[in-house]
């Protein structure tokens, strides 16, 4: 079994309440990281969210949920500022916010294009911009994006989703090239 020790580390998971994000949140918390995850506050998922939090906290893990709209840079800035102010550090960002609506390209409106690029790409950029100052000051950090095979095979069912995920790969390459020598490692999973 793989053992990961993240004791003393602080991690932020954007979109960490359901699906892949919940798995990331649980893994980080169980590895010992103080884990804060964002969610939209949708009442439809409130009971599930509460159960997950109670279970992890009852097991002794440091985990917290924060309502934030990842498409609003001021929301992400506020979450990051609070984490750094409270813990003096932010060691890892996991950008997991995403949404896909399968439809033909000719049915994708301009508003829909912007909306899905904002969710799947801009939200990650806003988070990166927010965490970089703390990570640069520390000379250490991890930025991890959730990618998609749509980058390679055009799948995923939507042109905006495939384009946004390709943008994530480009952003990762830029960050790796620019910041790896300053202690910040960036990956796409």
Would you please indicate which residues are annotated as catalytic (active-site) residues? 161
User: How big is the chain, counted in residues?
Assistant: 189
Contact criterion met (CB below 8 Å) for 32 and 56: no
Q: Per-residue DSSP letters for 145-165?
A: E---THHHH--SS-HHHHHHH
The SS3 assignment for 62 reads coil
Q: Which residue spans within the chain are E strands per DSSP?
A: 10-14, 34-39, 63-67, 92-95, 141-145, 184-188
Q: Tell me 45's DSSP state.
A: G
DSSP-derived pairing of the beta strands 184-188 and 63-67: unpaired
């Amino acid at each position: 079994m793989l053992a990961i020790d993240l004791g003393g580390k602080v991690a932020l998971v954007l979109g960490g309440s359901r699906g892949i994000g919940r798995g990331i949140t649980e893994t980080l918390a169980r590895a010992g990281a103080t884990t804060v995850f964002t969610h939209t506050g949708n009442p439809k998922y409130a009971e599930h969210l509460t159960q997950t939090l109670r279970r992890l906290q009852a097991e002794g893990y440091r985990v917290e949920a924060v309502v934030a709209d990842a498409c609003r840079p001021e929301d992400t800035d506020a979450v990051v500022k609070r984490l750094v102010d409270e813990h003096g550090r932010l060691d890892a960002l996991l950008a997991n916010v995403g949404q896909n609506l399968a439809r033909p390209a000719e049915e994708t409106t301009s508003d829909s294009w912007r909306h899905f690029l904002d969710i799947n790409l801009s939200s990650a950029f806003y988070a990166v911009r927010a965490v970089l100052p703390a990570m640069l000051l520390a000379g250490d950090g991890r930025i991890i994006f959730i990618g998609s095979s749509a980058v390679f095979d055009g799948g995923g069912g939507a042109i905006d989703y495939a384009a946004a995920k390709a943008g994530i790969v480009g952003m990762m390459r830029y960050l790796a090239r620019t910041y790896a020598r300053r202690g910040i490692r960036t990956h796409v999973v």
